[in-house]
Structure 1
Amino acid sequence: MKAAILSHGYGGQNTAYSFIARSLVAHGYFVASIQHELPTDVPIPTVGPPQVVRRPNRERRVQNILFVRQKLRKKYPRVDFGQLLLVGHSNGGDPAMLFAQEHPALVRRVVSLDNRRMPFLRARQPRVLSLRSSDQVADSGVVPSPAEQRRFGSAVVRLPAIIHNDMWDGATPTQQQEINGWITRFLAQ
């Protein structure tokens, strides 16, 4: 059985992406959704360059993923935690990209729902799908150019009917279906 780890956006809850989790389970994935922040945690910085001042938050999230992966490998030895599917929204997508850069041998695919700060891995493996909202723009250098997308086999899909804050369980059924449809097509490749 394949393994997927979901990472919520900043201030979100690990249960806020159940429509994606259910779809992944239907496609044969064992799904873990990590609660990265607690109400008692210090808020992420809002002053200074986000790529710099929020890096410790992303690094903590990478450590969370490694910790959860290790614990689940022991508890569920039949699940393949060696070729992860990472799915992350916004500030959950940034650590997914960082994890893939730091531990590419552990990741088979990354699905980013509108990560904005952490540059995509510029490599053929792991494969990357990024679903981009209609209202948020990633920082310069985050999303690969069309030539880089072709070179590395990454897919960047613009969703004109979906804004950044629609990419969770609060999305309409039509929006959820569109998001899951793109993820399903990506997993079938």
Structure 2
Amino acid sequence: MHTETLALYDSVRRRPVPVVLYQPTVAVARPRLALLSHGYGGQSTAYTFLARQLVAMGYVVASVQHELPGDEPIATTGNLRETRRPNWERGVQNLLFVCQMLQQRLPRLNTGQLLLLGHSNGGDMVMLFAHEHPQLVARVISLDNRRMPLPRTRRPRILSIRSSDQVADPGVLTTAAEQRTFGITIVALPATIHNDMWDGATEAQKQEINAIEAEFLRR
């Protein structure tokens, strides 16, 4: 796996958008693109176990750094689905910008099969992206997002992996009937807490998460 750091800059918003790019060492004719979003307060470099597996499955992975020094802190009061929305909207704009830039840099990318992954607050970002731009996304995977409801739709296809210690807000997760209707997959991890869903997890935890994601992506 080849790793590269990109110092992208969005001149319209006057905002840096740092990206860690993971690519196969051996060239793939039409690699699919995966955009990865970290949890709040996290780093784009903290999910290499996910990136490594996705690269092995033929993806180019762009891990986006959403929070920067000097950014307003995330809201902790009020209706968090509303008060955190500006943070998620900024994340959606970051992801759209990175996708556009990578299409220019890597014309061989197959962006028609876009995969979004996000942990915690990053999971809320990617679910908002799926609500607002469903035509751009093939699959979305969240690791324990808690605020933004999963889209009730067959496209994009949805997987949400849930921790043992955090509960999603009412209406975020789908009912069993909705899962059957829309083909949505929800998997609970009884031995993994919310803050374990990154490179600091045990090898067993990382292997379990990767196995669930691989099964979902191979369907």
**For 1:58 and 1:138, how far apart are their aligned partners in 2?**
17
Aligned partner of residue 85 in structure 1, secondary structure? strand
**For 1:119 and 1:11, how far apart are their aligned partners in 2?**
22
Contact 1:116–1:137 (CA under 8 A) maintained in structure 2: yes
Code of the residue aligned with 1:61 in structure 2: it is: G
Deviates more, 1:76-85 or 1:139-148: 76-85
Q: TM-score, normalised by structure 1?
A: 0.99
* Structure 2: gaps of 5 or more residues: 1-30
Give the structure 1 partner of residue 77 of structure 2: 47
Give the structure 2 partner of residue 13 of structure 1: 43
Aligned partner of residue 35 in structure 2, secondary structure? strand
Q: 1:118 offset after TM fit, Å?
A: 0.3
Give the structure 1 partner of residue 150 of structure 2: 120
Count of residue pairs the alignment pairs up = 189
Q: Please give the root-mean-square deviation of Cα atoms over the aligned residues, in Å.
A: 0.6
Aligned partner of residue 166 in structure 2, secondary structure? coil
| Higher radius of gyration, 1 or 2 | 2
More helix by share: 1
User: Which contiguous aligned blocks of 4+ residues in structure 1 show a shift greater than 6 angstroms?
Assistant: none
Q: 1:39 offset after TM fit, Å?
A: 2.2
Give the structure 2 partner of residue 95 of structure 1: 125
Q: TM-score, normalised by structure 2?
A: 0.85
Q: 1:48 offset after TM fit, Å?
A: 1.0
More strand by share: 2
Deviation per residue, 1:133-167 (Å, 9 max, x gap): 00000000000000000100000000000000000
Q: Is 1:86 aligned to 2:116, yes or no? A: yes
By relative contact order (CA 8 Å, sep 6+), the higher-ranking structure is: 1
Aligned partner of residue 138 in structure 2, secondary structure? strand
Deviation per residue, 1:30-89 (Å, 9 max, x gap): 100000001221111112111111000000000000000000000001001222100000
